[in-house]
Chain A
Amino acid sequence: MKKAWTAFLILALVSVITFLIVRITPEWEGVDDTVVGKYAKEAGHPAKKAYIDTDRGDMLLFFFLIAGTAGGFVGGYYFRELFPPRQSDAKS
């Protein structure tokens, strides 16, 4: 029960912080755009669309999800190889 309450409190806290940050701050653009893109535009060399432009609708979200999953899987696979569970962990 105590764990459930702790989880609930953490979830609530994170939600409130996210809500506040998202509401009061601007667009959260990447510095790719706000710094690199800005100076490039001023110099007459604006960024072009990527050759494989996945930034269309939810496509980019899909690719980021795949990238995160693949990266996590590969990392986890090698992590298990390099850091196998200790005997005490395995018993418990």
Chain B
Amino acid sequence: MRTLPIIIIALLCFVLAPSTAQAMHITEGILPPQWAGLWFALAIPFVALGLRDLKARSKQQPLFKPMVGLIGSAVFVISCMPIPVPTAGTCSHPCGTGLSAILIGGPLTALVSSIALLLQALFLSHGGLTTLGGNIMSMGVVGGFTGLAIFRLTRLCGMPVWGAAFLAGLLSDWATYLMTSFELASALHGKVAFLKMFAAIGISFIPTQLPLGIMEGIITAVVYQFIAERRPELLEGLGVPVKTGLVQAVEGEANV
């Protein structure tokens, strides 16, 4: 009986799986030199801040470097893993930067993303060396900081941590692709109106990124919940709020 839901989901995928639609990485040579240079110039300060952050926080917290190593490898693997999306007939990848930003902070997310993107550009023909700055900006900077901001904002509003983590993962993914659309449209719109091209590219990403963003949100929430339950002291050491929604609710009732 347990296999029944799986079969139903599989059949749904089969039925929905269809036509061609049209990853976030901008491939080698696509950005004109002046735009490639601009995105490099904008991305470098964030990477430098990440390096400074790594040195400073590693001295204070002994387990910080292993955490950065774990998150770095996760971002590397996640962001080069093409996932087939049956509803679109194409493949794309999540980014992992929302989760990264919650756990190790925005600047360090830019740093680990830059390393992951560099390795992918060098050895996996994924992304590009000239477009590295643009890709760092969209995935590491905009994706990471959006995730962090959403997480903190939703926590301030009293949302349970799993919900905040879900939204951080979801919106960091969508923000990454929105930024990619912005970079492409600003560099390539030519005689076409910028907004028209920006909207067209953004809309083209929707069939693939809508479900993938939701998946990334779920992964972020599950991983966060796992760490909060298994080693909450680790999160406290990182300066991240630990309590789950349930614990907060119980404590809230006790206080009343």
Type the 1/0 row for A12-27, where 1 means its CB is closer than 8 Å to any CB of B: 0100110011001111
A13 pairs with B10, CB closer than 8 A: yes
- Classify the secondary structure of A's interface with B: helix
Chain A 55-92 per-residue mask, 1 if CB under 8 angstroms from chain B, else 0: 10000100110111001101101110111000000000
Query: Please, how many angstroms separate the alpha-carbon atoms of A45 and B26 in the complex?
Result: 12
B58 at the interface (CB under 8 A from A): no
A67 and B80 contact, CB distance less than 8 A: yes
B28 contacts partner chain A, Cβ-Cβ < 8 Å: yes
- Bound complex: CA A77 to CA B70 (Å): 8
Select which of A31, A64, A66, A82 is within 8 A of B91 by beta carbon: A31
Residues of A within 8 A of B184 (CB): 36, 39-40
Q: Which of A9, A40, A77, A79 contacts B27 (CB 8 A)?
A: A40
Q: Considering only CB atoms, which chain B residue lies closest to A48 in the complex?
A: B29
Q: Is the CB of B188 within 8 A of A39?
A: yes
Complex contact B7–A13 (CB within 8 A): yes
Q: Is B252 an interface residue (CB 8 A)?
A: no
Question: Which A residues are in CB contact (< 8 Å) with B82?
Answer: 30
Contact bitstring B171-205, A, C-beta under 8 A = 1, else 0: 00000000010001001111000000100110011
Partner of A30, one of B63, B90, B119: B90
Binds A, one of B42-50, B122-130, B142-150, B240-248: B122-130
Q: Is the CB of B123 within 8 A of A63?
A: yes
Count of chain B residues near A, Cβ 8 A: 66
Closest approach, in angstroms, between the C-beta of B240 and any C-beta of chain A? 14
Q: Is the CB of B125 within 8 A of A9?
A: no
B66 touches A50 (CB 8 A): no
> Contact flags (1/0) for B210-223 with A, using CB distance below 8 Å?
00000000000000
Residue of A17, A29, A31, A54 near B124 (CB, 8 A) is: A54
Q: Which chain A residues lie closer than 8 Å to B123 at the CB level?
A: 52, 54, 63, 66-67
| Residues of chain A whose beta carbon lies under 8 Å from any beta carbon of chain B | 9, 13, 16-17, 20-21, 24-32, 34-40, 43-55, 60, 63-64, 66-68, 71-72, 74-75, 77-79, 81-83
Query: Which 9 A-B pairs have CB atoms at the shortest separation, nearest pair first?
Result: A48-B29, A43-B188, A34-B22, A47-B27, A75-B73, A78-B70, A71-B77, A74-B73, A50-B125
Report which B residues bind A (CB closer than 8 A): 3, 6-7, 10, 13-14, 17-32, 63, 66-67, 69-70, 72-74, 76-77, 80, 82, 84, 86, 89-92, 119-126, 128-129, 180, 184, 187-190, 197, 200-201, 204-205, 208-209, 230-231, 234
